[in-house]
Amino acid sequence: MQCNGLLAQTQVFHHRLSTIKMVAQQLGASWNHARPRDRRRCSSIQAHDAKLNRAFFCLPSFCHQNFMPIETSTAIRPVSQSAFGAAAYEVVGHAFTIHKRLGRIFDESVYRTTLAHTLAPRAVEEVCVRLTHSGFEKPYFIDLVVDSGCPFELKVVSQLHAGHRRQLIQYLMLTDLHHGKLINFGGEKVEHEFVNCHETTEHRRAFQLDLSRWSTPAAGVLEFQEIVLNLLRDWGTGLDRGLYIEAITHFLGGPQVVRQPVETLWNGIVVGWQNTNMAARDAAFKISCLRTEVDSYEKHLYRFLVNTTLEKVLWVNVASGSVTFVLLSK
């Protein structure tokens, strides 16, 4: 009961906070300088948003030590494997009926809205999952959530592939759910696949750190190290490589600062250039999420270094349960 009360208070707080921020921005004022009348004006906006069901709710995991900095557009709670299996069986049955009538040519949104209509009011479309860290925000959208804890990711492709599985696994990690399902309407028959994830946020945060090949670097490189470690201590390992790169780029000043052309060499002569993520002067950064073939990747990374005008490459390999920093120099 205490946990439920704390969750309810947190839901109200986050909604009021985001609403007041929005009003302050609209009036050309910062949040810190929002006037009392602006705050009063938030009450009417908040009531309107509640009617539209647009308020964001903190995940129930706030009540645990493994709280993630995440908000969702509807309340989400874990369900048992048997409960998910029963819901999935029903959803896939409807998917076959819809596919038989509509075929495989429609856009994904048509199958999603039709499936949601069939399952109403138990299904919520495009549930927003908003991940944050120190001012950085990244929204994701789960196609369909049934019974508040059964996520379904829909596709209209020739065949499901590993990228689709990784996408759903990330959604499961972010929401602390354990079971999800992919449904593909793009084939002659409906393709469907269970995706499970039992890696908790607490486990992903408890990574082993290897700095044995990270020699005493310059100030700019130390800043990069701090940014990466703070991010991983907050989010944990196991998430999408592109997400880590996007967040690191944000904290280093944004793409306009980080993404820079670097001259490429052939036999010591400049023959071209390549856009590269820069962490500091003459130092690029690379993020990988490799569990295998790490040595092979390092060899190619060193070839990249020696055939450019760079002096260093700051390489971080973020694997499940382990993070390795490597400073490659010419």
Residues 212 and 309 in one domain: yes
Residues 211 and 197 in one domain: no
Residues 90 and 148 in one domain: yes
Domain end: 202, 218, 242, which one?
Answer: 202
Residue 182 lies in a domain: yes
pLDDT given at position 69 = 84
What lies within 8 Å, CB to CB, of 209 at 6+ separation is: 229, 322, 323, 325
Residues 137 and 159 in one domain: yes
Task: Quote the domain boundaries for residue 242.
Answer: 207-329
pLDDT given at position 106 = 98
Residue 119 lies in a domain: yes
pLDDT given at position 274 = 97
Residue 70 lies in a domain: no
Residue 154 lies in a domain: yes
Residues 198 and 212 in one domain: no
- H-type alpha helices, the chain: 2-26, 36-51, 81-102, 108-119, 162-175, 201-205, 219-235, 241-251, 255-258, 294-306
pLDDT given at position 16 = 42
- Over the stretch 96-112, which tens digit does the pLDDT of each residue have? 999 999 999 999 999 99
Residues 171 and 194 in one domain: yes
pLDDT given at position 267 = 94
pLDDT given at position 246 = 98
Structurally, the chain folds into a number of domains equal to 3
Residues 112 and 168 in one domain: yes
Report d(CA 70, CA 67) in Å as an integer: 8
Residues 187 and 277 in one domain: no
Q: Is the pLDDT of residue 179 over 80?
A: yes
pLDDT given at position 19 = 40
What lies within 8 Å, CB to CB, of 315 at 6+ separation is: 285, 286, 287, 288, 298, 301, 325, 326, 327, 328
Residues 188 and 242 in one domain: no
Residues 233 and 294 in one domain: yes
Q: Is the pLDDT of residue 307 over 80?
A: yes
Residues 142 and 234 in one domain: no
Report d(CA 46, CA 109) in Å as an integer: 29
pLDDT given at position 61 = 37
pLDDT given at position 11 = 41
- Over the stretch 265-304, which tens digit does the pLDDT of each residue have? 999 999 999 999 999 989 999 999 999 999 999 999 999 9
Average pLDDT of span 200-225: 89
